[in-house]
Structure 1
Amino acid sequence: MERRDVRVHYDELAAEYDEHWVYGPDYIPWMSARIAEALRLTATDRTADIGCGTGLFAREIVRTVRPDHPVLCVDPSEGMLRQIGTPAPPGLRPIVASAEDIAEKRTELPYERLDAVWLKESVHHLPDPARTLRGLADRLAPGGRLLVVMLPATIRYPLFRAALARFEELQPDPADIVEHLTAAGLDAGLSHVEHELRIDRDKYFGMVRARYMSLLSTFSDSEIEDGIEEMRAAHPDPVLVFPDRFAFALGELGRVRGEAG
């Protein structure tokens, strides 16, 4: 198994990324609303979407929350950030940087402190999640919130067996992420949300062929095609219906500790 460079993977996928990630018209609003609720976002919050990709969720949050300060859209892939637009839409500020760059303060931000930070399905890319989350926690203002949105340790996607097994091999345990947030000095907890997906079977096969999930980049073209044939036999119906379940690991910086630090 060879994992392709993550940045290269997303640079190559950038032009078609939104097409592959918008399962249906209600998915982005649903997930964005769950993120906003978990973080208790208000218009006055200074926020950052770390690993934002093309800004799908940040854009929706700007539309609904109407923040006073632009949402920082942070991603190491220039190709993904270019999809946000040039110039960027009002309310969004793209920043080419990795989560590690922000955590280690190698990248200057327009806000001295952040009130709310979220990472959606990017924590599995972190070589040292404990260290990076600790660094992100250090950038929070008193009362600041840090949310890690991730898939659980097992999923019920209609993928081929080898892909599901590899997912379980590579995916961090959400409980470990909660422990990292706690070790970073945050009051942390874990919750789950679930959304039913209905997607045209051939469209989903095309998404798999395009390697819409980074774990699929660990398979060769022939392995992907064999996997799709396996999926075709296992799922004969024209519409695939399956649950999309997410773990929400949320940490909050107490005001007393934040002011003392």
Structure 2
Amino acid sequence: MGRREVRDHYDGLAADYDEHWVYGPEYIPWMSARIAEALELRPTDRIADIGSGTGLFAREVARQLRPRRPVLCVDPSEAMLRGLGTPPPPTLTPVVASAEDIAEGRTRLPYERLDAMWLKESVHHVADPAHTLRGLAGRLAPGGRLLVVMLPATIQYPLFAAALARFEELQPDPAVIQGHLRDAGLETRLDHVQHELRIDRDKYLGMVRARYMSLLSTFTDAEIQKGVEEMRAAHPEPVLVFPDRFAFVLGRRPEESA
């Protein structure tokens, strides 16, 4: 998907995005806590959520952390950023920009340097991950941390077979992303976290019809309907239970020598 296609996809999802992504009441707090833990966030940090969407995770991180400076919610979709609220809460500052805009300095941020930033499930939208991650790494202060949260190369979601196959074709390898961060001069670490999802089957089928994953926008309406019928036959149980496993690729900029 090109940048315009990605933006159009999320513009279309914006009104119902939070409903699609809140699998259950524990999911957002759990993931936000894992992000804050991996980044070792402190209230004094200058923080950015790159590809924040409606700010689901930035809002929860801010609630848990109580930062002294607003968390920057960076996203190319104005429609998604309107989900922060009008006006947004004082703990969050919307920035209409893509990861590439930030990496290449086309968009000026309120903070000259960042102590921590994360990209959650957005690195696969970046056309040139090596170049963009290098640029983002260059925005870090000494000791700053950059976290890429992404799905692994294979997933165990109860999707239809063609969607799972296409996911494996398109999904970047976390080890390759780790290599990009290392090449950008960061000290790196690759970990995995896992959360068990329990979701009403009919709700999940509705999420698939709505193309809650950008991957699903590569299928026609007829293909989606056929896939939903395949899923319905394969999963007669009323509640779907499956693991949601994520790779956490962390890069840390070395402290400057005295």
TM-score range, shorter chain: over 0.9
Runs of 4+ residues over 4 Å off in structure 1: 1-4
Cα shift readout 1:177-205 (whole Å, capped 9, x = no counterpart): 00000000000110000000000000000
Query: For residues 30 and 189 of structure 1, what CA distance do their matches in structure 2 show?
Result: 21
Percent of aligned positions with the same letter in both sequences?
Answer: 78
**1:90 Cα shift?**
1.6
Query: For residues 192 and 198 of structure 2, what CA distance do their matches in structure 1 show?
Result: 20
5 Å-filtered alignment, 1:60-139, equals: 60-139=60-139
1:198–1:242: 8 Å Cα contact kept in structure 2?
Answer: yes
5 Å-filtered alignment, 1:240-255, equals: 240-255=240-255
**1:2 Cα shift?**
9.9
- Matched residue, 1:230: 230
Query: For residues 104 and 4 of structure 1, what CA distance do their matches in structure 2 show?
Result: 18
**1:3 Cα shift?**
10
Query: For residues 157 and 19 of structure 1, what CA distance do their matches in structure 2 show?
Result: 18
Query: For residues 126 and 83 of structure 2, what CA distance do their matches in structure 1 show?
Result: 23
Question: Gaps spanning 5+ residues in structure 2: where?
Answer: none
5 Å-filtered alignment, 1:37-48, equals: 37-48=37-48
* Amino acid in structure 1 at the alignment position of 2:12: E
Q: How many residues align?
A: 258
The SS at the match of 1:83 is helix
Question: Gaps spanning 5+ residues in structure 1: where?
Answer: none
1:73–1:92: 8 Å Cα contact kept in structure 2?
Answer: yes
The SS at the match of 1:5 is helix
Distance change in 2, residues 1:84/1:145 (3 Å): same
1:3–1:217: 8 Å Cα contact kept in structure 2?
Answer: no
Query: For residues 143 and 135 of structure 1, what CA distance do their matches in structure 2 show?
Result: 16
Query: For residues 54 and 133 of structure 2, what CA distance do their matches in structure 1 show?
Result: 22
2:208–2:216: 8 Å Cα contact kept in structure 1?
Answer: yes
Q: CA RMSD in A?
A: 1.4
**1:86 Cα shift?**
1.1
5 Å-filtered alignment, 1:146-161, equals: 146-161=146-161
TM norm structure 1: 0.97
**1:256 Cα shift?**
2.2
Query: For residues 139 and 114 of structure 2, what CA distance do their matches in structure 1 show?
Result: 6
Cα shift readout 1:220-260 (whole Å, capped 9, x = no counterpart): 00000000000001001000000000000000001026x8x
Query: For residues 3 and 227 of structure 2, what CA distance do their matches in structure 1 show?
Result: 18
Query: For residues 94 and 221 of structure 1, what CA distance do their matches in structure 2 show?
Result: 33
1:4–1:218: 8 Å Cα contact kept in structure 2?
Answer: no
Distance change in 2, residues 1:2/1:120 (3 Å): closer
Query: For residues 130 and 47 of structure 1, what CA distance do their matches in structure 2 show?
Result: 22
* Amino acid in structure 2 at the alignment position of 1:22: V
Query: For residues 66 and 189 of structure 2, what CA distance do their matches in structure 1 show?
Result: 27
Cα shift readout 1:67-118 (whole Å, capped 9, x = no counterpart): 0010000000011001111111120000000000000000001101000000
Instruction: Indicate whether 1:54 and 2:54 are aligned.
Output: yes
Instruction: Indicate whether 1:204 and 2:204 are aligned.
Output: yes
- Matched residue, 1:173: 173
Instruction: Indicate whether 1:31 and 2:31 are aligned.
Output: yes
- Matched residue, 1:18: 18
